[in-house]
Amino acid sequence: MNRQGDVRRDEDRLADIVRASVAIANVVEAGRAHFDADEQYQVFVLHQLTVIGEATAALSRRLKARHPEVDWRSPQDLRNRLVHAYFDVDWDIVWRTGCNDVPPYAAQIATILEGYTEA
């Protein structure tokens, strides 16, 4: 929790998504063998995907409506699956998501963040 309590702005949440995406990129860059061999890498990526889903879910409806080109639902759905079905994580899906889905999503979010205004 930040000093202001639970209140965070869209800009903060967009930055959270970008940071989590960069963190995932750093892990997947090491390769699948490292990911498979180290449970800490797996849990780290899983956590970062959860951060992305949680931050996406908390973005304002207004911001989401201004950017209908972004798939806002998938990160939230993945977060829900990872958190509520933690006992049945498919690490292939986590890996593919980190490699294939996160980079273009992060690029979209970074573009929104670069041009961010609260108006």
Structure tokens at 57: 């879910």
Please pick, among 32, 79, 81, 96, the residue that the annotation labels catalytic: 79
Active-site residue, 66 included: no
Domain boundaries, the chain: 10-114
pLDDT score of 1: 45
Angle at Cα 79 formed by Cα 75 and Cα 82, nearest 5°?
135
pLDDT score of 116: 87
Q: Each residue of 107-117: pLDDT tens digit?
A: 999 999 999 88
pLDDT score of 36: 97
Is residue 113 a contact partner of residue 14, using CB atoms and an 8 Å limit? yes
Active-site residue, 84 included: yes
What's the CA gap between 33 and 73, in Å, rounded? 30
Q: Each residue of 93-107: pLDDT tens digit?
A: 999 999 999 999 999
37: Cα separation from own chain's centroid: 23
Q: Each residue of 38-63: pLDDT tens digit?
A: 999 999 999 999 999 999 999 999 99
Please pick, among 8, 34, 66, 84, the residue that the annotation labels catalytic: 84
Residue with tokens 């979209």: 108
What's the CA gap between 62 and 59, in Å, rounded? 8
Rounded alpha-carbon distances, angstroms, from residue 92 to 36, 52, 55, 98, 99: 9, 18, 23, 10, 11
